[in-house]
Structure 1
Amino acid sequence: MEIDFRDDTNKITNEQMQLVEKLLQYAAETEEIDETAEMSVTFVNNEQIQIMNRDYRQKDAPTDVISFAMQEEGEEELAIVGEQLPIVLGDVIISVDKIKEQAEEYGHSFERELGFLSVHGLLHLLGYDHMTPEDEKVMFTKQEEILNEFGLQR
C-alpha cells in the first residue's frame, strides 16, 4: 500500500513515522487491502483539527483523529469505475497534541497512542465504525488484535 505522510507539526520523529508505516502496512495485509491502494496520513495540532472537525463534522472542538474515506459513495454520487485506477482509500488526520494528552491520560506510551489512532483512522477508511455498541465492539476488537499482533501492546 502506498502511504503519503505529512507532518504539519514537525513533532513526529523519523522513527515514529517508520513505526506508523510498518504498522499500517501490517494492518493492510491483515485486512487484505490491495497492494496498489493509496492513503495519506497528516499530523496536525489541536487548532488545525478543531477547524476540520467544525467544518466537516459540525463539532467545534479538537478531536484525536478524523478520516475522510474516498471509497464511500454519498447520496447522488456517481461511482468512479476503471480498471487502471488505483484504489484511493482516503485521508487520515491525526492531532499530535491529542496523542500526547491521551497517552498520558491512558497511561501508555506516545507510540502506542500514535499506533492506535493510525489504525483507528485506517479502519474508518475501510468502512468500520462505532456508531452502535455492536459496531464499536467489532471495530475496537479489530484494532486491539492488529496492535497486539504487531507488538504494540498497552
Structure 2
Amino acid sequence: MSIEVNNESGAEVPATELTAVARYVLDRLDVHPAAELSMVFVDLEAMSELHEHWMDLPGPTDVMSFPMDEMTPGGRPDASAPGPAMLGDIVICPQFAAQQAKQAGHSVERELTLLTIHGVLHLLGYDHAEPDEEKEMFELQNGLLEDWFETRRAEARKAAQVERDRRLLGKVGLLNDPDESR
C-alpha cells in the first residue's frame, strides 16, 4: 500500500501518524494492498480555492476527497472483485482542523485523525448526502476512530508492560544484557 504525503500548509502535521491511520482504515476495510492514495495538507487560502472551485461553496473547509478511479469494480469493500487502484487524493487543512478541534473540545491530533478517516471513506465511495448514507458513513467513521485509538492505547499498555518487565528482570539479575558484559 502506497501513501504519499505532501505538506503545503506551512503547519506541522503528524504525517507518519496520519499515514498509519489511513493504512489502518484501508486494511480494516479490506482494500487491496497495492492501492495508492495521496494526502495533501494545505493552508486556508488554498483550501478556500479548492472548496469554491469544486464545491461552489465560499471559504475553506476541513477535508476534501478527490477519487481518482471511479471504484468500478472494487473500492468499497462490499463491491465485487476489489483490486489495486489509485484511490485518489485527500486534502486536509490543518488550520481549519485546529479551529474545529478547539470548538469540539478535543486535540488537533484527534481532529486530523477523524478527517483522515473521513477522507479515506469518501475515496472508497462512502457519502453523507442522504440520511441513510450519512448514518452508514458516520457509524463506520466513528467506529474506526475509536478502534484506532483503542489499538494505540493497547499498544502503549503493552510497551509499558514490556518496559516494566525489562526493568524488574534487570533488577533481579534475570536479564542478561550482552552490552553489559563488555
Q: What TM-score comes out, normalization by structure 1 length?
A: 0.86
93, 110, 123: which one pairs with 2:91?
93
Question: Counterpart of 1:67?
Answer: 65
Indicate yes or no: 2:28 matched with 1:30.
Answer: yes
Q: Structure with the greater relative contact order (CA < 8 A, sep ≥ 6): 1 or 2?
A: 1
SS in 2 for 1:151: helix
CA shift, 1:56, in A, is 1.2
2:32–2:84 Cα contact (<8 Å) kept: no
Larger C-alpha radius of gyration, 1 or 2? Answer: 2
Unmatched 5+ residue regions in structure 1?
74-84
Equivalences for 1:79-118 in 2 at 5 Å?
86-118=84-116
CA deviation map 1:1-24 (0-9, x unaligned): 2100000023224xx111111111
CA RMSD of aligned residues (A): 1.7
CA distance in 1, matches of 2:134, 2:113: 18
42, 45, 65: which one pairs with 1:44?
42
Q: Which runs of 4+ in 1 moved over 3 A?
A: none
CA shift, 1:57, in A, is 1.3
2:10–2:43 Cα contact (<8 Å) kept: no
Greater helix content: 2
CA distance in 1, matches of 2:38, 2:4: 4
Q: Which moved more, 1:2-11 or 1:113-122?
A: 2-11
CA deviation map 1:51-104 (0-9, x unaligned): 01111111121111110011227xxxxxxxxxxx95100001001111100000
Question: Counterpart of 1:76?
Answer: none
Q: Which moved more, 1:110-119 or 1:143-152?
A: 143-152
CA distance in 2, matches of 1:124, 1:135: 11
Matched length: 140
CA shift, 1:138, in A, is 0.6
CA distance in 1, matches of 2:5, 2:112: 14
Q: What TM-score comes out, normalization by structure 2 length?
A: 0.73
SS in 2 for 1:116: helix
Unmatched 5+ residue regions in structure 2?
72-82, 153-182
133, 139, 142: which one pairs with 1:141?
139
Question: Counterpart of 2:175?
Answer: none
CA distance in 2, matches of 1:92, 1:69: 8
Identity of aligned residues (%): 35
SS in 1 for 2:92: strand
